[in-house]
Chains A and B, each alone.
Chain A
Amino acid sequence: MMSIMNRYKNLTIGVLALQGDYEQHCRQLEVLGVEPVEVRTESQFGIIDGLIIPGGESTTMSILLERFGLRCTVSDFAKKNPVWGTCAGMILLSKRIADNQSDVKPLGLLDIDVVRNGYGRQIFSFEEDVKTKLGKDIESLPATFIRAPKIIRTGEGV
């Protein structure tokens, strides 16, 4: 753990802070010894080494990316830097939103198709341990599905 923390010590990671659970992502980065930055403007992309798009409402985030002129900024940033999407963030990264009835435009950075609220509305939200192949010692992780999206297709190499 210590070696991981040293490796990431000098990184500055941005968390897109238009809306959503960006604060919790920032706190978790701090725990890992990484400096978080709440990102709301284009100029901030110059000082970060990676970007996390957090959970929240994908419709809202998509509208705000457009309104604040950040859509291209995120796409350009992703060409050279790592970008992570949690929940709504994953929806925004996807190629296609299968249930799209409104004007949410995904960024198309990750070759997956998603269905929003794939497990149903809030009363069907749940927490469950899921199996993972992330690490040798980690076989399962607690996962929370809150009006969560479902991935219905993954492209090659995803």
Chain B
Amino acid sequence: MNFDDKNHKVKIGLAEMLKGGVIMDVTTPEQAKIAEGSGAVAVMALERVPSDIRAEGGVARMADLDVIEGIKKIVTIPVMAKCRIGHITEARVLESLEIDFIDESEVLTPADHAHHVDKWNYKVPFVCGCRNLGEALRRISEGAAMIRTKGEAGTGDVSHAVRHLREINSAMRALTVMREDELYSVAKEYRVPLSLVKIVAKLGKLPVPNFAAGGVATPADAALCMELGAEAVFVGSGIFKADNPVKRAEAIVTATTHCKDPMKVAEASRGLGMAMKGIQADSIPQDELLQTR
């Protein structure tokens, strides 16, 4: 675990460049073009958006490689793609395609129930989801260059992303006022290296950018995540499952930039048509939650 490693620094550097922006899930080159035109800072290529995975069931895997190539050709912004948790080979394949960022994602069906990818051994940066600080630090210790909340993907219900953001941030604030001997117990509880806990205690934040994801469906949802300390926002089903994806995508980008200006968020929120219908995250049975993967 070496945060001064040059290769790791340029991985985190790309995440830094995406701050203040919106990363949008896309399943076709046409959707990628719409996302780029709306002001997205990156697109995330995947086989099906999370709400479809939820509705249709089955095994969710890395996207079709021809679709990924098509998306890479049509946009100039960074292209990300999802691999299954622990699927070393999907990750290597995506790296060989010169993908800009890999999301080792709970939205896809996990390939390995015990191990995540050892992300230090790749040239390509990884983002991973988390629900709390312990999970975030475990992923960072495995080499993740960006962390995002898991929320509950495909629901259009932002409440779980909010819960995860609040949990992570309040746990980090607690670390900053702890005695040194207390940090040992935290490292033990979180199952992460003490050195990493000490870094967070000193910085008061993660050593990599911390983005929000999971259930963002409106411009106000995106602005809320930013207000709660997210440094950028991922939007999955929220755009292309809405009535007017073009206008909604633009509005979510505008609201993210102007998250501290309620007048601008209000203006962006007008005339968008219906948001995705969604499903209450708390009504989903425990064993069907994606976030526990």
Contact = CB atoms under 8 A, between A and B. Distances in A.
Contact of B16 (A21, A60, A145): A21
Given A123-B123, A147-B78, A40 B10 contact: no
B254 A67 contact: yes
A55 interface: yes
B14 interface: yes
Contacts of A68: 254, 257
Contact of B19 (A23, A67, A146): A23
A57 B42 contact: yes
A122 to B, nearest CB: 4
A6 interface: no
Contact of B40 (A22, A56, A60, A144): A60
Given A57-B21, A59-B36, A19 B41 contact: yes
A40 B39 contact: no
Contacts of B18: 19, 56-57
A63 B39 contact: yes
Interface in A60-114: 60, 63-64, 67-68, 87-88, 99, 101-104
A40 B13 contact: no
Given A122-B125, A125-B10, A127-B6, A67 B250 contact: yes
A59 B257 CA distance: 15
Contacts of A144: 9-10, 13
Interface string B82-109: 0000000000000100111100000000
B193 interface: no
A117 to B, nearest CB: 8
Size class of the B contact interface (CB-based, 8 Å): 35 or more
A24 B95 contact: no
Interface in B28-45: 36-42
A112 to B, nearest CB: 19
Size class of the A contact interface (CB-based, 8 Å): 35 or more
Interface string B207-243: 0000000000000000000000000000000000000
Contacts of B95: 123
A40 B77 contact: no
Contacts of B201: none
Given A67-B250, A123-B95, A123-B124, A57 B16 contact: no
Q: Which of A20, A55, A116 has the most CB of B within 10 A?
A: A20
B134 interface: no
A40 B257 contact: yes
A106 B201 CA distance: 42
Nearest to B21: A19
Interface string B247-280: 0001001100110010000000000000000000
Interface of A: 17-24, 40, 55-57, 59-60, 63-64, 67-68, 87-88, 99, 101-104, 116-117, 120-123, 125-127, 144-147
14 contacts: A18-B20, A19-B19, A19-B21, A21-B17, A21-B19, A59-B76, A60-B39, A64-B39, A68-B257, A121-B98, A122-B98, A122-B99, A122-B101, A127-B9
Interface of B: 6, 9-11, 13-14, 16-21, 36-42, 75-78, 95, 98-101, 123-125, 250, 253-254, 257-258, 261
